[in-house]
């Protein structure tokens, strides 16, 4: 098949997932055309079946807000016509689904029928999409997609609860590439971070408010009073400056490293003993799944779809959003008991294996085939 993938190209989970999906589809022989405003971060190697088309948004003195959605729709039309796409798969509803609807209408006016599939990722529904600024457009473009998928049962429920949705939502969960995300022996690296054998905790996010990064730092301040430990803060975003200040206020800077954005996540995760995910909401929590694939148990909140990935008392522990004492206590249960920690590490890996990319790609391929058959019949 010739598949157009539209996503945010940055470090966010939806872009990562869309890029990994495109790479896996290309490995299976499909031709994949990425249509984004920048090269997706995980699209880092040449593949003969992958093509990248940059959406240029020319500025003009009249434009206080350059019309990205129109530029995106026009680029989609160009690729549909010239690369003979079979279908479009857009990740994150805003503004990708409405741009795809527009591109579909334009192609139809030229006698070409191209279905589009919308995959909902989280904040496009729970945070931004529900706002009345966007809601009518999001509802319309979901209902007019040829198929809609959500990355967790929780996100499906949230969408059905908050939108007047007539389109059926299929859950196709996020996945992990277990060949890339696996435990790697990085003892030498571990010794640099934790020279006296301290335990290592990790947090990975885009440092937005929804991640409640402050809970990870406050919990860590409690943990290190009882167990010698280091915290790796990986990623970057609007809250980072405040979080560095919080470390200074708490006097914990010596034991916390802010590493910024990193590419070799599997190497960093491999030296961690625990992964902290205190988010206010996660539709899924892809970062936690990647940690689990590297044998790292997860200490998290119980928000959104997290309980579908992190099994309480088995792959980690869950607690209510904002309960810093519980985050610390749950971490200490494992950090103080080597045998239990090792058991949880094995459980985390075993559970991550159920999200193996090899089980998920065929689900997308089956959906593509179904949608193409429906379009043929109509």
C-beta of 240: minimal distance to ligand GMT in Å? 14
The distance of closest approach from Cβ of residue 219 to ligand GMT in the complex, given in angstroms and rounded to an integer, is 19
CB of 13 to ligand GMT, least distance (A): 3
Binding positions for ligand GMT, 3-32, rule CB under 6 A: 12-15, 17
Which residue among 121, 190, 203, 224 contacts ligand GMT (CB under 6 A)? Answer: 121
Instruction: Specify the residue, 3 or 277, whose C-beta has the smaller distance to ligand GMT.
Output: 277
Q: How far apart are CA 209 and CA 310, in angstroms?
A: 21
Phi, psi of 295 (to 5 degrees): 70, 35
Among residues 13 and 297, whose Cβ is nearest to ligand GMT?
13
What's the closest the beta carbon of residue 261 comes to ligand GMT, in angstroms? Answer: 13
Phi-psi sector, 237: left (phi>0), alpha (psi -120 to 50), beta = left
Q: Measured from the CB atom, is 15 or 115 closer to ligand GMT?
A: 15
Binds ligand GMT by CB under 6 A, chosen from 40, 55, 87, 92 = 92
DSSP-based three-state secondary structure for 226? helix
**Edge-to-edge strand ranges of the sheet holding 169-171:** 50-54, 31-36, 2-6, 87-91, 116-120, 147-150, 169-171
- One of 103, 256, 286, 367 touching ligand GMT (CB under 6 A): 286
* Distance, CA of 223 to CA of 273 (rounded, Å): 13
| CA separation for the pair 297, 330 (Å, rounded) | 11
Residue closest to ligand GMT when measured from CB atoms: 122
Give min distance, CB of 78 to ligand GMT, in A: 26
Using DSSP's 3-state secondary structure scheme, residue 315 falls into coil
Question: Binding segment for ligand GMT among 69-77, 245-253, 280-288, 343-351 (CB under 6 A)?
Answer: 280-288
User: Given candidates 22, 285, 297, 316, which one binds ligand GMT under the rule CB under 6 A?
Assistant: 285
97 versus 221: smaller Cβ distance to ligand GMT: 97
Q: With CB under 6 A as the contact rule, which of the stretches 25-33, 192-200, 257-265, 277-285 interacts with ligand GMT?
A: 277-285
Least distance from ligand GMT to the Cβ atom of residue 353, Å: 18
Enter the DSSP assignment of 356: B
The vertex-187 CA angle with 184 and 188, nearest 5°, equals 120
Q: How many CB atoms lie within 10 A of CB 74?
A: 17
Q: How far apart, in whole angstroms, are the C-alpha atoms of residue 127 and residue 86?
A: 32
Contact letters for ligand GMT, residues 43-82 (x by CB under 6 A): ----------------------------------------
**44-53 long-range CB contacts below 8 Å, 24 or more apart?**
44/263, 47/23, 50/22, 50/23, 50/26, 51/83, 53/78, 53/79
355 forms part of the interface with ligand GMT (CB under 6 A): no
Name which of residues 127 to 156 contact ligand GMT (CB under 6 A): 151
Residue with Cβ nearer ligand GMT (98 or 283): 283
Please list every residue from 167 through 226 that binds ligand GMT, using CB under 6 A: 174, 206, 210
Q: What phi, psi does 8 have (nearest 5°)? A: -80, 130
83 vs 51: CA distance, rounded Å = 10
Residues that bind ligand GMT (CB under 6 A): 12-15, 17, 92, 121-123, 151, 174, 206, 210, 281-286
């Amino acid at each position: 098949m010739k598949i157009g993938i539209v996503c945010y190209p940055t470090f966010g989970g939806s872009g990562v997932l869309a890029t990994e999906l495109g790479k896996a589809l290309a490995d299976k022989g499909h031709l994949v055309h990425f249509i984004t405003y920048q090269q997706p971060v995980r699209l880092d190697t040449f593949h003969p079946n992958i093509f990248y088309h940059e959406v240029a948004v020319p500025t003009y003195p009249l434009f206080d807000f350059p019309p990205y959605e129109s530029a995106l729709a026009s680029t989609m039309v160009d690729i549909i016509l010239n690369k003979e796409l079979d279908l479009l798969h857009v990740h994150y509803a805003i503004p990708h689904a409405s741009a795809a609807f527009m591109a579909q209408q334009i192609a139809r006016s030229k006698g070409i029928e191209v279905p589009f599939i919308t995959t909902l990722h989280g904040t496009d529904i729970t945070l931004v999409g529900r706002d009345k600024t966007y809601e009518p457009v999001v509802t319309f473009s979901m209902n007019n997609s040829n198929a809609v998928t959500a990355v967790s049962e929780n996100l499906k429920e949230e969408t059905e609860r908050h939108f007047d949705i007539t389109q059926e939502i299929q859950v196709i969960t996020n996945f992990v590439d277990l060949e890339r995300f696996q435990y790697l022996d990085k003892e030498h690296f571990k010794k640099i971070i934790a020279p006296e054998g301290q335990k290592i905790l990790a947090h990975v996010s885009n440092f937005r408010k929804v991640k409640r990064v402050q809970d990870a730092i406050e919990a860590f301040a409690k943990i290190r009073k009882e167990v010698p430990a280091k915290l790796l803060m990986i990623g970057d975003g609007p809250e980072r400056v405040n979080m560095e200040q919080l470390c200074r206020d708490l006097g914990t800077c010596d034991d916390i490293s802010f590493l910024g954005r990193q590419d070799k996540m599997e190497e960093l995760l491999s030296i961690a003993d625990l992964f902290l995910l205190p988010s206010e909401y996660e539709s899924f929590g892809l970062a936690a799944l990647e940690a689990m694939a590297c044998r790292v148990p997860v200490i998290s909140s119980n928000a959104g779809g997290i309980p579908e990935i992190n099994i309480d008392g088995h792959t980690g522990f869950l607690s209510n959003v904002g309960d810093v004492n519980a985050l610390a206590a749950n971490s200490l249960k494992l950090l103080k008991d080597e045998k239990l920690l090792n058991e949880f590490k094995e459980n985390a890996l075993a559970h991550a294996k159920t999200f193996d990319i090899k089980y998920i790609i065929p689900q997308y391929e089956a959906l593509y085939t179904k949608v193409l058959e429906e379009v043929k019949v109509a």
